[in-house]
């Protein structure tokens, strides 16, 4: 009996020890899992825009210098607008003149014009009556041989002329009452539309004499100076884009399955060793490539990697373009922590 109790006690003790060991190993694995981080290396991405005018001209003003921070829509340079102002004024005058022509055609004939046309008909009728009376007299005189046949023929021609004049006057009344032809109105409208388009183009060219920053950034290079002549498309300034701020990093193929787009990351630099910048994984390339020589990694340079874009939060503007960055990613966090952050204000 005592032997049986001792065996049960020994078995219970062994099970307790095994359970403790198993629990300790499990906790150790969980701790190591939670604390597993992935470190990658990269640089703050340099993205540039060559700022140029759309038209030729002489540079009148450059409002920024190298290192100047600019906002989207800010005027950074201007060419002499005098020629473009005159062109815009010329087309504005032509549009105004053609608008008056079109209005006159749409309104048709004025009452006074119709009245003048009808008065012309009355005058033509009077001339015709006078010519007919004269012809009748000439024919009576011809019977008594007092005049020649030529005079009678001239009187008859005068009657024909008066009849044609009356017909023309009557048609004039019809045209005055009916108004302009639809084709004339359509042609005037087309001319006005063409002039309006030319006016808008001239105004756009005038507006383009001011060079605007297409995005937030920093002026990296001031290529030309005031007084220089520039042609269309000639670079004047180089703008480095800073919004959003990207870090170009590279992930080895064995670690590719541990990272997802939207994962939070921490960034550190050699300049501010004790400062941590927040960010998240914005993009992972779908194709492999060789590690660029500029990436300071401890792994072999010839190893295939996948390019990743890290969105960095830098409200103090301390990260400089091209600066080497160390990125650490906790790859064992819960899946609920993986989100698509779009602003640095996210928690």
State the pairing for strand pair 229-230/57-62: antiparallel
pLDDT tier at 148 (50, 70, 90 boundaries)? Answer: confident
Q: What is the CA radius of gyration of the chain?
A: 46
Asked if pLDDT for residue 68 goes beyond 80, the answer is yes
Q: Strands of 69-70's sheet, edge to edge?
A: 48-52, 235-241, 217-222, 69-70
Strand partners, 62: 77
Read off the pLDDT of each residue in 77-89 and give the average, rounded to a whole number: 96
Say what the pLDDT of residue 34 is: 47
Same domain, yes or no: 173 and 320: no
DSSP label of 347? -
Number of domains the chain is built from: 3
Kindly state the percentage of the chain with pLDDT values over 70.
80
Q: With contact defined as beta carbons under 8 Å apart, do 328 and 39 qualify?
A: yes
Give the residue, 78 or 108, on which the prediction is more confident. Answer: 78
Range of the domain at 53: 48-81+208-241
Report d(CA 282, CA 346) in Å as an integer. Answer: 14
Q: With contact defined as beta carbons under 8 Å apart, do 78 and 228 qualify?
A: no
CATH code of the domain covering residue 288: 2.40.30.170
Could you tell me if residue 110 is inside a domain?
Answer: yes
Secondary structure of residue 330 in the 3-state scheme: strand
pLDDT tier at 241 (50, 70, 90 boundaries)? Answer: confident
pLDDT tier at 12 (50, 70, 90 boundaries)? Answer: low
Beta carbons within 10 angstroms of residue 34's beta carbon? 12
Mean of the per-residue pLDDT values of the chain: 81
What digits encode the pLDDT tens for the residues 162-215? 888 888 887 787 777 767 788 888 899 999 999 999 999 999 999 999 999 999
Say what the pLDDT of residue 261 is: 85
Same domain, yes or no: 232 and 250: no
Give the residue, 218 or 23, on which the prediction is more confident. Answer: 218
Could you tell me if residue 266 is inside a domain?
Answer: yes
How far, in whole angstroms, is CA 318 from its chain's centroid? Answer: 31
Read off the pLDDT of each residue in 245-261 and give the average, rounded to a whole number: 84
Same domain, yes or no: 96 and 141: yes
**Which residue carries 């914005």 as its tokens?**
282
Beta carbons within 10 angstroms of residue 149's beta carbon? 9
What digits encode the pLDDT tens for the residues 259-278? 888 888 899 998 888 899 98
Could you tell me if residue 54 is inside a domain?
Answer: yes
Q: Structure tokens of 87? A: 């062109």
Same domain, yes or no: 191 and 229: no
The secondary structure of 91-116, three-state, reads HHHHHHHHHHHHHHHHHCCCHHHHHH
Report d(CA 259, CA 278) in Å as an integer. Answer: 16
């Amino acid at each position: 009996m005592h032997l049986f109790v001792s065996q049960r006690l020994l078995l219970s003790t062994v099970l307790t020890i095994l359970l403790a060991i198993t629990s300790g190993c499990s906790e150790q694995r969980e701790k190591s899992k939670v604390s597993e981080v992935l470190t990658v290396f990269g640089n703050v991405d340099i993205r540039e825009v060559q700022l140029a005018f759309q038209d030729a001209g002489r540079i009148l003003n450059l409002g920024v210098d190298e290192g100047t921070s600019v906002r989207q829509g800010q005027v950074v340079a201007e060419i002499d607008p005098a020629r473009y102002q005159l062109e815009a004024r010329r087309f504005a005058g032509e549009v105004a003149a053609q608008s008056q022509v079109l209005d006159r055609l749409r309104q048709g004939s004025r009452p006074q014009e119709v009245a003048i046309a009808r008065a012309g008909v009355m005058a033509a009728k009077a001339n015709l009556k006078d010519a007919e009376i004269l012809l009748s007299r000439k024919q009576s005189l011809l019977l008594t041989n007092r005049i020649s046949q030529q005079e009678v023929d001239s009187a008859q021609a005068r009657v024909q002329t008066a009849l044609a004049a009356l017909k023309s006057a009557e048609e004039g009344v019809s045209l005055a009452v009916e108004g302009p032809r639809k084709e004339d109105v359509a042609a005037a409208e087309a001319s006005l539309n063409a002039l309006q388009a030319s006016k808008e183009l001239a105004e756009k060219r005038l507006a383009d004499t001011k060079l605007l920053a297409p995005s937030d950034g920093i002026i990296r290079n001031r290529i030309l100076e005031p007084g220089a002549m520039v042609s269309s498309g000639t670079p004047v300034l180089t703008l480095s884009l800073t919004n959003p701020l990207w870090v170009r990093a590279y992930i080895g193929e064995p670690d590719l399955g541990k990272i997802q787009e939207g994962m939070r990351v921490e960034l550190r630099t050699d300049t501010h060793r004790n400062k941590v910048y927040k960010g998240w994984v914005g993009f992972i390339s779908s194709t492999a490539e060789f590690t660029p020589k500029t990436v300071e990694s401890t792994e072999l340079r010839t190893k295939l990697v996948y390019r990743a874009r890290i969105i960095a939060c830098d409200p103090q503007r301390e990260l400089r373009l091209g600066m080497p960055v160390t990125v650490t990613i906790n790859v064992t966090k819960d899946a609920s922590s993986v989100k698509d952050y779009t602003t640095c204000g996210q928690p």
